[in-house]
Amino acid sequence: MKRFVLLLIAVLLCISLSGCSEETGEKTEQAYAVLTDEGSLVFFRSTEEYENNTVYDSVKDISGYTYSGKVFGGIETYNNNYDSVSWYSYADSIKTVRVSPGQTIAPIKMSGWFSGCRNLESFSATGFDTSNVITMDLLFYGCRSLTSLDLSSFDTRNVTGMAWMFINCVSLESLDISSFNTSKVKNMDSMFLNCNSLISLTLGKDFVGFDSTTSLLFQLWTNGEVVKTTTELYREYPANAEEMAGTWTLFVEEEQNTVKP
User: What is the model's pLDDT at position 10?
Assistant: 45
User: What is the model's pLDDT at position 20?
Assistant: 44
User: What is the model's pLDDT at position 156?
Assistant: 98
pTM of the model: 0.86
Segments of the chain assigned E as strands: 30-35, 40-46, 54-60, 66-72, 96-99, 122-123, 148-150, 174-176, 200-203, 220-222, 227-229, 246-250
Locate the domains of the chain by residue range.
106-261
For the cut 80, the answer to whether the pLDDT of residue 19 exceeds it is no
User: What is the model's pLDDT at position 250?
Assistant: 95
Predicted confidence (pLDDT) per residue in 40-67, tens digit? 999 999 999 999 999 999 999 999 999 9
User: What is the model's pLDDT at position 38?
Assistant: 97
Predicted confidence (pLDDT) per residue in 106-153, tens digit? 999 999 999 999 999 999 999 999 999 999 999 999 999 999 999 999
User: What is the model's pLDDT at position 78?
Assistant: 83
User: What is the model's pLDDT at position 75?
Assistant: 93
Q: Which residue has the higher pLDDT, 209 or 73?
A: 73
Q: Determine the Cα–Cα distance for residues 104 and 85; give it in Å rounded to an integer.
A: 19
The mean of the pLDDT values for the chain is: 89
Q: DSSP per residue over 36-91, as a string?
A: -TTSEEEEEEESS---TTEEEEEEE-TTS-EEEEEEE--TTT--S-GGGSTTGGGG
Q: Which residue has the higher pLDDT, 17 or 164?
A: 164
Predicted confidence (pLDDT) per residue in 202-221, tens digit? 999 999 988 999 999 999 99
Predicted confidence (pLDDT) per residue in 74-113, tens digit? 999 887 666 678 999 999 999 999 999 999 999 999 999 9
